[in-house]
Amino acid sequence: MYVVEVVITNKRSVRDPEGETIHKELISRRGYANVKDVRSGKYLEFLVDSQTPEEALNYVRDICYKLRIYNPVVHDIKVRLSA
């Protein structure tokens, strides 16, 4: 069994209103001037029964793409094994 994490974020070229709001309305207004940008996203965790870690990663990538869990036109995705 492997725990596979998926992080979905907007591509850098796509506006991120939620991240902008968090940055402007919360962080900057509270004086955290060293934070220059905030990007928001989604986190998913899959428990996968697989023979190898590579097989688990590929299986989850396939699920995400085929089931349109993310939109490859506007989103980036990171698929990794949980530590």
Query: Which residue's structure tokens are 């796509």?
Result: 14
What residue type is 18 in one-letter code? E
Entry pTM: 0.81
Per-residue pLDDT tens over the stretch 6-40:
999 999 999 999 999 999 999 999 989 899 999 99
Using DSSP's 3-state secondary structure scheme, residue 50 falls into coil
Which residue, among 43, 60, 42, 41, has the nearest Cα to 2 in the 3D structure? 60
- For domain 2-81, the CATH superfamily is Phosphoribosylformylglycinamidine synthase subunit PurS (3.30.1280.10)
For β-strands 41-48 and 75-81, DSSP reports them as unpaired
Assess contact for 76 and 8: CB atoms under 8 A: yes
